[in-house]
Amino acid sequence: MPSIGSNQETESAADALVFTENGGMESGLSEQRQSEADGAIETSGGALRVLDPQEDGTPALLIPNPPLRLWVNGSELLEPLHVSAGDRIEWEMPERPLFAVDAAPGGMQAHIRVYADTQYAWKLEDSAPAASCVPRAVPDLKKPLKKLGIAEIMAEIGTMGICKNLDVPAVVQALQDADGQPVPFASGLEAVQGEDARLELFFGEKIENAFEEVAGALDYRNHLRIPSVQPGDPLARLIPSASGEPGYDVYGKVLSPDPVREIELHARQHVEAGPDGLFTALKAGRPCITSGAVRYLDISDAYVVAGDVDLKTGHIVFSGDVAIQGSVTDNMIVESLGNVYVSGGVYHATITAAGSITVLGSTIGSRLYSGSFGLAFNRLFHLSQQLREEIGQLLSAARMLYAEVCKRGQSARFGQVALLLLKTKFKEIQPRIRELLQVMVTVQRSTGSSSNEFADDLNLMLSPALMIEALDEQVLSRLEQSLEKEHSFVSDMQQGDSRIELSRCQTSTIKSNGDILIHREGVLQSDLYSGGSIAFANPVSVCRGSCLEAEDRIDARTVGSAGGAPCVLKAKHSIQVQRMYEGRIAVDGLNRDIFAPVENRTFGRQDMDLESAFS
């Protein structure tokens, strides 16, 4: 309990303060009277005694001294006050704890501070009569109230829940020293973090262009450096994750390590997975790895077109890489579930690839889509998805209608019911099946989903006579499952590091979920979108009348022209231009129009204020 007195007893470790003539304060307990007529106040025998002034003298001044609390006539004294002998003055000194126990943030260590081993009553320190007084309380060593023991400290530690790795001798030593210094007496154990799974690839994922000079001229035929392996070559090693070990804090709370990141990697038919995490090639070809939560490692086949893709070759649809030694001509389509390499140009054509696209010549009036965009415009991907949904709806509707027919006691086959629905409500199914069969024939591959049974089921849906005779719920359900497998197969072919590399493009649409790299003249009246960055490698590359958008950054050379052809450049992080005449810049949603040429500028939301760039 705090000590309480009437005109007696307080404590303060700091020096007391009194007011000087100029209104300041100086160290000391009291101020001498200016004349004998002034009032006075003294502390004697633990009590405060006030002497009233004579005639016109100044009353004595009582000054508060926290943490000592003073009351004058029942009101707490918070600022200096003139008092008289008739005033009732009371005081109280709050108890100071003998010790304190605290835990560090995070609860990994606990400390104890012992301020004193004995608690005493308080008394007011004696002071001579003076015009002002700052009462000071000191321990009364003749009146001990409590002796601190180790049992009381340990009981408090237990109440706080601190229980791990207690160092009792340290607590005893702190009690003996009683110097108020922090003494650690308990500690936790940090959790041991695990290690994420890691994938080591033994091949490069990017296809490089390496033009070499032969007899004084560039060799444009043997320029592609495509990663390739032979049977038995190691492709990758999957290093499994290592789990961490839990720890605990001083309260005994378990501290779990952070979850480790796993990698799910599967080998396709041309890759062998060993028990030690080593993946090896079973055939020669280009190694490739897909992206996504579940990754697949495979050896891609290559389909080589010796000349142009034109009416003679027809559209190209292939499950692996496509290498075209000529050009892709008007209105032709190239669809690949790997990479596409074009040694010539692409003219008013469409190329979609689950991997990357490289075009060495001009791209004019065309559409190029790689990665996720390649799949989005892939007919095999779309047709299998649409047919899977429509066949599922047909199956549900046929079941309901067939059940209603049977309920009425009418005689009909399940195939008849399905055929009726096919001719009335699901008229788009048969045309899509015909298109899918044509695409599958040109794909020239064999997978589990592209089996003879799958093709037979598709053909059955095109023959009314066969539908009435052989179609039942099992066949329709099997067809739905086969379409799902086909769609999943194509979806899993998306490669993580897909990109598009061009020499020049005009009036075209280019979309990639990876980077877009322009090697030579540049871009004219085209739309480019990159899930990564867009870069112009040639110092004299230009971008005119085009719209460029990148999720990372854009590195351009000359943008626009003195004669017009403004451009729109949008990027998430930064845009760098050597020279820009006119157009619009957008960085992370912040748009600014450019009306006067700027040179060698980098626009980034964090690097600079876009507004100042156009002032």
Burial (0-12, 13-18, 19+ Cβ within 10 Å), 120: middle
Number of Cβ within 10 Å of residue 31's Cβ equals: 19
Average pLDDT rounded to a whole number, residues 303-313: 88
Average pLDDT rounded to a whole number, residues 389-410: 90
> Cβ distance 93 to 137 under 8 Å?
yes
Confidence of residue 214 (pLDDT cuts 50, 70, 90): very low
Average pLDDT rounded to a whole number, residues 23-42: 59
pLDDT tens-digit map of 311-346: 888 888 877 788 899 999 999 999 888 889 999 999
Q: Element (H or E) spanning 50, and its range?
A: strand 47-51
Out of 23-37, 74-88, 294-308, which region has the weakest mean confidence (pLDDT)? Answer: 23-37
Q: Is the pLDDT of residue 79 over 80?
A: yes
pTM: 0.50
Confidence of residue 77 (pLDDT cuts 50, 70, 90): very high
**Using CA of residue 598, residue 601, residue 605, residue 608, what is the dihedral sign?**
negative
Per-residue pLDDT, 493? 61
The residue ranking higher by pLDDT, 56 or 39, is: 39
Per-residue pLDDT, 60? 92
The residue ranking higher by pLDDT, 524 or 384, is: 524
Closest CA to 571 of 514, 597, 532: 532
Per-residue pLDDT, 227? 67
Per-residue pLDDT, 27? 33
User: Residue 51 corresponds to which tokens in the numbers above?
Assistant: 């002497």
Per-residue pLDDT, 375? 65
Per-residue pLDDT, 91? 92
Closest CA to 279 of 356, 203, 197: 203
Q: Is the pLDDT of residue 405 over 90?
A: no
Q: Is the pLDDT of residue 612 over 80?
A: no
Question: Could you give the CA distance from residue 264 to residue 483 in angstroms, rounded to a whole number?
Answer: 24
Question: Could you give the CA distance from residue 345 to residue 349 in angstroms, rounded to a whole number?
Answer: 10
Round the CA-based radius of gyration of the chain to a whole number and report it: 44
Confidence of residue 8 (pLDDT cuts 50, 70, 90): very low
Number of Cβ within 10 Å of residue 571's Cβ equals: 25
Average pLDDT rounded to a whole number, residues 501-524: 93
Q: Is the pLDDT of residue 22 over 60?
A: no
| Amino acid type, 516 | I
Average pLDDT rounded to a whole number, residues 212-232: 54
Out of 36-40, 184-188, 223-227, which region has the weakest mean confidence (pLDDT)? Answer: 223-227
Tell me the pLDDT of the chain averaged across its residues: 83
Average pLDDT rounded to a whole number, residues 406-413: 86
Q: Element (H or E) spanning 545, and its range?
A: none
Out of 19-33, 104-118, 549-563, which region has the weakest mean confidence (pLDDT)? Answer: 19-33
